[in-house]
Structure 1
Amino acid sequence: MPRLVNVKKSVMAADEEHASFIRSMMKQKGVLMINMIGSPGSGKTTLLEKLLPKLNLRCAVIEGDVATSRDAERIAVTGTPVVQINTQGGCHLEANLVRKALRDIPIDDIDVLFVENVGNLVCPAEFDLGETFKMAISSVPEGDDKPLKYPSLFHQARAVLLTKVDVLPYITFDRSAFWRDVQKLNPGADRFELAVIEGKGLDDLIGAIEDWLKDIRGN
């Protein structure tokens, strides 16, 4: 006969404890922690490269990748403190890994911590890293159907970024349908359209980041 197993504790309970620790630390330090989630090629690293030099805030970055330190090397060029996490095949970051990486982050001297998660729209949305909120990043070349195909991320995200809007004239993409689906899933999400290489939309995002930081600090 099949054996019935009663699960009395979440299999992710240990990692949830790490997430709770990180969240408490960020709140105590007054640090805005943004978990950036998007597909490979959605433009997460390029966004950080262009955004960090323009932000008049003290920032640090944790880079998550299956392998290589290439993204961290790109961020280091901006002069921003950065730590690379390689998951060795894992499809997402976990709070225990982020907590270890924080040992090399000057947490007392920053305002914003960006965590660039492993390129994936599924697994990273299911794991709490102790972040202030998740940011969903989707690019025009990926197609306009991503919100409804990957609803968990778009439902949870505080902010949704549509990147690479400069290629709209060359790709079949229903912008209205994309945002309509975001509205269905998450009517309260902040929305941004960016053409990062050209700098389009960066000022709006910078203003939002400044406001989010004020919100968590209560000023």
Structure 2
Amino acid sequence: MSEIKISVNMLNTNEEIHEENKNLFDEEGIFVINMMGSPGSGKTTILEKLIPKLKQNLNIAVIEGDLYTTKDAQRIEATGVPVVQINTARTSYLEGSKVREASLNFDLREIDLIIIENIGSLVSPAEFDIGEDVKICIFSVAEGNDKPLKYPMMFEKSTAIILNKIDLITFTNFKVEEFYEDIKLLNNKTKVFQTSCTRNEGIDELSEWILKQTKEKSNLKEN
């Protein structure tokens, strides 16, 4: 008997799950952020700074993605918002099906904003839509200004880019002008925020932008 090969188009399957997730969140008027970036870029610390500001006006839930441990989820839980941990063990990105499963742990009728902290990587998370409204890339100056052209997909797909740890810029050879030139070349529509969590710089501007985006989606549902 000859071998029968069966192939499944995983991209189509992922797109279907993305649409299902998006429809679910849209029905509830929930704004969803897919937060991506390298390990150590400061994703969790940014969330620790943002959440206290945002939760004054919004009901927030967080989905934490990591290979192992619940350390980041514990840090987010300490901010007083509901959080669900997804451990992937080997996979370097969050799957849409896992995001949907995690989201059902929340009372979606009471949620305005879901922030998904994806697995630390500049590659895989950008390849897969998981039901989000926007992708946000957090990028540290310590990573070097050459990375956007080396890992273009992350920056091409991001609605906003957070240039983080700008307080360290004098200790690096990071060239800000070249960074902005490369970002404009890849994605001239993206919005760039400069932040420093140690100095609380840029956090207010970022939180105001997220609040505006979330409120706009909520208003669309009401209308």
* Deviation digits for residues 65-98 of structure 1 (CA, Å, limit 9, x no counterpart): 0000000000000011000000011110010111
Paired residue total: 215
CA shift for structure 1 position 206 = 1.0
Task: Report the TM-score when normalising by structure 1.
Answer: 0.93
The amino acid that maps onto 1:153 is: M
Aligned twin of 1:40:
39
Tell me how far apart the structure 1 counterparts of residues 47 and 107 of structure 2 sit (CA, whole Å): 18
Tell me how far apart the structure 1 counterparts of residues 202 and 143 of structure 2 sit (CA, whole Å): 19
Tell me how far apart the structure 2 counterparts of residues 198 and 11 of structure 1 sit (CA, whole Å): 43
The amino acid that maps onto 1:58 is: N
Report the identity percentage.
42
RMSD over aligned CA atoms reads: 1.6
The amino acid that maps onto 1:156 is: K
Task: Report the TM-score when normalising by structure 2.
Answer: 0.92
* Deviation digits for residues 162-190 of structure 1 (CA, Å, limit 9, x no counterpart): 00000111111101111111111111111
CA shift for structure 1 position 49 = 0.8
Tell me how far apart the structure 2 counterparts of residues 171 and 106 of structure 1 sit (CA, whole Å): 44
SS in 1 for 2:10: coil
Aligned twin of 2:70:
69
Equivalent residues in 2 for 1:37-186, closer than 5 Å: 37-55=36-54, 56=56, 57-186=58-187
Tell me how far apart the structure 1 counterparts of residues 208 and 71 of structure 2 sit (CA, whole Å): 29
Does structure 2 conserve the Cα–Cα contact (< 8 Å) formed by 1:95 and 1:129? yes
Tell me how far apart the structure 1 counterparts of residues 215 and 62 of structure 2 sit (CA, whole Å): 20
Tell me how far apart the structure 1 counterparts of residues 50 and 11 of structure 2 sit (CA, whole Å): 33
SS in 2 for 1:12: helix
* Deviation digits for residues 40-79 of structure 1 (CA, Å, limit 9, x no counterpart): 0000000001110111211110000000000000000001
Tell me how far apart the structure 1 counterparts of residues 9 and 42 of structure 2 sit (CA, whole Å): 34
CA shift for structure 1 position 6 = 10
Tell me how far apart the structure 1 counterparts of residues 182 and 11 of structure 2 sit (CA, whole Å): 30
CA shift for structure 1 position 218 = 4.3
Runs of 4+ aligned residues of structure 1 deviating over 4 Å after TM superposition are none
SS in 1 for 2:196: coil
Tell me how far apart the structure 2 counterparts of residues 113 and 31 of structure 1 sit (CA, whole Å): 7
Aligned twin of 1:28:
27
Tell me how far apart the structure 2 counterparts of residues 58 and 201 of structure 1 sit (CA, whole Å): 22
Greater Cα shift, 159-168 or 15-24: 15-24
Aligned twin of 2:13:
14
Does structure 2 conserve the Cα–Cα contact (< 8 Å) formed by 1:138 and 1:146? no
SS in 1 for 2:41: coil
Tell me how far apart the structure 2 counterparts of residues 183 and 48 of structure 1 sit (CA, whole Å): 26
Tell me how far apart the structure 1 counterparts of residues 219 and 178 of structure 2 sit (CA, whole Å): 36
Gaps in structure 2 of 5+ consecutive residues: none
The amino acid that maps onto 2:198 is: I
The amino acid that maps onto 2:136 is: M
Tell me how far apart the structure 2 counterparts of residues 169 and 84 of structure 1 sit (CA, whole Å): 36
Does structure 1 conserve the Cα–Cα contact (< 8 Å) formed by 2:112 and 2:218? no
Tell me how far apart the structure 1 counterparts of residues 219 and 180 of structure 2 sit (CA, whole Å): 30
